[in-house]
A and B are shown apart, each in its own frame.
Chain A
Amino acid sequence: MQELIERAKSLLEAGQVARVLGWKKGENVWDAEPAFFESADALDAFVYNGFCGANLSKYMIEAGKLEGKTLVFLKPCDSYSFNQLLREHRVDREKAYIIGVGCKGKLAISKIPFDGILNVSGADYPAAAEMLKVETLYGDVEIAYKEAMLERCHVCKGKEHVVYDELLGESCDTVDADRFAEVERIEAMSPEEKFAFFQQELSKCIRCNACRNVCPACSCRKCVFDSTAFDSAQKANTTSFEEKMFHIIRAFHVAGRCTDCGECSRVCPQGIPLHLFNRKFIKDINALYGEYQAGSDLETKAPLTCFTTDDAEPGVGRG
């Protein structure tokens, strides 16, 4: 971590960047917040540990409007989001100095199932421990680092950054699950079971819009759900059908552009596995139009926005 701070300080002091976008120490080891640092002194509060899951790409939309370059730390998966934002002309590559930072899997305090957590040790970077030591009001306990990892890290896209100016720090392989296994499990359900599954999950939705606001693919200046022109503008679900509409419409809107960064599921206060919608789209796109990973590069044509005469017509019938 000290390496990152030193590098940021030198870039800042050399005037190569006007500010640094990273993570700032919170009250506890697990609540670092995304932050802009404008001086070398301020960087003393910089932190990078296992709990820095927040994807900083979307903050670069606003940072791009500021004077001068912004140094941003992107983890491998975050770099896909940045690339996708580049493709959509939402961020300015010239205004960004990207340090691709290594990642050993990101943790969430919500995945550590103990009451009264006072401290977690072993979450440091790069020295992540295999077992996290958890000090609680009710005694000391341990949990495997892997068990406290975000879902997205179990199906990690890989250690490579797809866009960067320089790289710092090691990454490690965290994959221990199949990315589409859960989607396949749901696909295999009967229509009634599927309905019950989504009914249960989505009925928890409180329409707080955290999923939308954190989503790098949701960068519309005026969201359709904020339109006053029609009845979708609810901040509350008017019927039990509403919450499904919100999430399904959102999934359609980000289809083909979602990089599967998993932020939606990370931030949902009700723990709804929102990534499953997006992943279903990704799986279908792969099956119908060939393997495609949004944000992997700037050249590959996006399957849902280009037409070829060979295109499958899923609406007509598969195969």
Chain B
Amino acid sequence: MYRILKSDLPKLYAAISAKNDLLLPVKTAGKTNFALWTEDAVVDIEALKTVKSPKDAFFPQSENLYTCGKVDGKTTITEEERCNAPFVVFGIKGCDVRAIAVLDKVFLSEPVDSYYASRREHGVIVSMACNRPETSCFCGAFGIDCAQPEGDVVTWQAGEYLYWQPMTEKGEVLTQQVAEFLSACEDAPVNEAMEQIRAICNKLPLKDLDLSAWGAEAAQKNFDSPIWEQLYKPCLACGTCTFVCPTCQCYDIKDYNTGNGVQRYRCWDSCMYSDFTMMAHGNNRNSQMQRFRQRFMHKLAYFPANNDGMFSCVGCGRCVDSCPAHLNIVKVIKAFGKGEK
């Protein structure tokens, strides 16, 4: 275990940044999101949840895949360069670290998505325990311990210090790079911090969220339920839940005509959008009820069925905080939970 005075963190950021791109929570115009560290960035490691999850670091909202041009009348295809330099994502919370494992199931399964894979290969995850979990948090329901997140390096804030524990080889390498700013210390303060965090977690209103109505077996069962008709109506068909979600991974592939070539890029898409499944000859999910159902069935039933029971939700609660109509996955989970009993 190592530690650094929190007041010295700017020096640590600068040191990390000297050898790696550093992404961390930065406050801009009142809201905190992961952004590239610069000397004048307003770093905000006190914020429990960034508005957007850090999934951008590995699966950006928009990224070029390749560019088409013409040379002597022949079409050329120039692939976008893959990530080939190390970068560090600092301050990821336990739920969001687990969300990366969810994304891995999608993008690292065959055929491997090389754009994502190159970022995973070069990215170092420095996670951070959650000091002040929120009412909307329910990571515990998915077996995530926010007091002791996964990651290449795990950090804790306690008192004046940030505690630092490398967990993987990547984490050790990073620790070596910034060793001059870290000093070895006892585990005790961290153990105490973890105890405090877990005590708060025990008081969270959603800590006992019952997922028994969901999982692989629910794939068939819940689809035809009349509950969906009652649940979806306030849904505005916007993509807020999708875009703040750390595990949503649906994307669109589109063209951008630059005037002297065509950039083919992919961007996040939302199964909540009416044109998501639209084809020239029709749409197999014509109603918002069907689209709403798809999002939750995918996260809570289809994904677990295909991935050994792993849910595509990590209980970060961002959708709970940001849905304009106050709909969210918790209400959906509970609605079916009631149906069971």
**Chain A positions near chain B (C-beta within 8 angstroms):** 26-28, 31-36, 54, 59, 110, 115-118, 137-138, 200-201, 203-204, 206-210, 212-214, 226, 228, 231, 233-238, 263, 266-267, 269-272
Instruction: Report if B277 contacts A (CB, 8 A).
Output: no
Question: Which of B83-91, B210-218, B261-269 sits within the interface?
Answer: B261-269
Contacts A34-B325, A210-B236, A269-B244 given; indicate if A235 touches B331 (C-beta within 8 A): no
Please determine whether B62 and A237 come into contact, CB atoms closer than 8 angstroms.
yes
Q: Tell me if B233 is interfacial: C-beta within 8 Å of chain A.
A: yes
A116 touches B267 (CB 8 A): no
Q: Does B6 contact A (CB under 8 A)?
A: no
Q: Majority SS of interface residues in chain A? A: loop
CB neighbors of A among B228-248 (8 A): 233-234, 236-240, 242-244
Q: Is B135 interfacial (CB 8 A cutoff)?
A: yes
Which residues of chain A come closer than 8 Å to B239, judged between CB atoms?
207-210, 235
Give chain A residues whose Cβ lies under 8 Å from the Cβ of B204. 137
Would you give the shortest CB distance from A59 to chain B, in whole angstroms? 8
List chain B residues, Cβ under 8 A from A272: 29
B299-341, CB under 8 A of A: which get 1 and which 0?
A: 0000000000000000000001110111100110010000000
- B70 near A: Cβ within 8 Å? no
Q: Is A33 a contact partner of B326 (Cβ separation < 8 A)?
A: yes
Given contacts A236-B62, A267-B324, contact A137 B203 (CB under 8 A): yes
Closest to B242 in A: A208
B238 touches A231 (CB 8 A): no
Q: Which A residue sits closest to B132, measured CB to CB? A: A115
Contacts of B265 in A (CB 8 A): 236, 238
How far is the CB of A167 from the nearest CB of chain B, in Å? 25
Whether A137 contacts B325 by the Cβ 8 Å rule is no
Residue on B with the closest CB to A118? B135
- Check if B148 is an interface residue, CB within 8 A of chain A: no
Given known contacts A204-B51, A210-B238, A269-B51, is B205 in contact with A234 (CB within 8 Å)? no
Inter-chain contact B330/A27, CB cutoff 8 Å = yes
A263 vs B61: C-alpha distance in the bound complex, in angstroms? 25
Cβ-defined partner of A269 (8 Å) among B240, B256, B273: B240
- Whether A200 pairs with B326 at a CB distance below 8 angstroms is no
Besides A54-B326, A226-B275, 4 other A-B contacts (C-beta < 8 A): A32-B326, A116-B135, A236-B62, A266-B324
A212 to B274, CA, bound (A): 14
- B60 → chain A closest CB, angstroms: 9
User: Can you list 19 A-B contacts (CB < 8 A)?
Assistant: A33-B234, A33-B325, A34-B233, A34-B325, A115-B48, A116-B135, A137-B203, A201-B29, A206-B51, A206-B52, A208-B240, A208-B270, A210-B236, A214-B236, A235-B239, A235-B252, A235-B273, A238-B265, A266-B324
Given A35-B233, A226-B275, A270-B31, answer yes or no on A236-B268 (Cβ-Cβ < 8 Å). yes
Q: Which of B30, B132, B330 contacts A138 (CB 8 A)?
A: B132
Which of B28, B135, B244 has the most chain A CB atoms closer than 10 A to its own CB? B135
Residues from chain A with a CB closer than 8 A to the CB of B263 are 238
Give bound CA distance, A284 to B188, whole Å.
Answer: 63
Query: How many B residues have CB within 8 A of the partner chain?
Result: 52
Report the bound CA distance from A208 to B242 in whole Å: 8
Is B135 a contact of A207 with CB atoms below 8 Å?
no
A201 smallest CB distance to B (angstroms): 5
B residues contacting A by CB (< 8 A) are: 28-31, 33, 48, 51-52, 61-62, 132-135, 200, 203-205, 233-234, 236-240, 242-244, 252, 254-257, 263, 265, 267-270, 273-275, 320-322, 324-327, 330-331, 334
User: Least Cβ distance of B202 to chain A in Å?
Assistant: 10
Q: Given A233-B254, A235-B267: A213 and B236 within 8 A (CB)?
A: yes
Residues of B within 8 A of A115 (CB): 48, 132, 134
Contacts of B331 in A (CB 8 A): 26-27, 33
Residue with the highest number of chain A CB atoms closer than 10 Å, among B28, B200, B330: B28
- Taking CB atoms, residues of chain A closer than 8 Å to B52 are 206
* Complex interface: chain B residues within 8 A of A110 (CB): 321
Bound CA–CA A35/B229 (angstroms) = 12
Contacts of A214 in B (CB 8 A): 236, 238, 324
Nearest Cβ distance between residue A147 and chain B, in whole angstroms?
A: 16
Contact residue among A36, A117, A200 (Cβ-Cβ distance under 8 Å from B135): A117
Tell me the minimal C-beta distance from B150 to chain A in angstroms.
24
Report how far A127 CA is from B134 CA in the complex, Å.
28
B134 surroundings in chain A (CB, below 8 A)? 115-116
Set A32, A138, A235: member contacting B268, Cβ < 8 A: A235
Complex CA distance for A269 and B51, rounded to whole angstroms: 7
Q: How far is the CA of A103 from the CA of B205 in the complex (A)?
A: 30
A26, A54, A200, A209: the one contacting B238 at CB < 8 Å is A209
Of B28, B240, B270, B327, most buried by chain A (CB within 10 Å of CB) is B240
Q: Is the CB of B269 within 8 A of A35?
A: no
**Using Cβ atoms and an 8 Å threshold, which residues of chain A touch B273?**
209, 226, 235
Q: Which residues of B contact A226 (CB under 8 A)?
A: 273-275
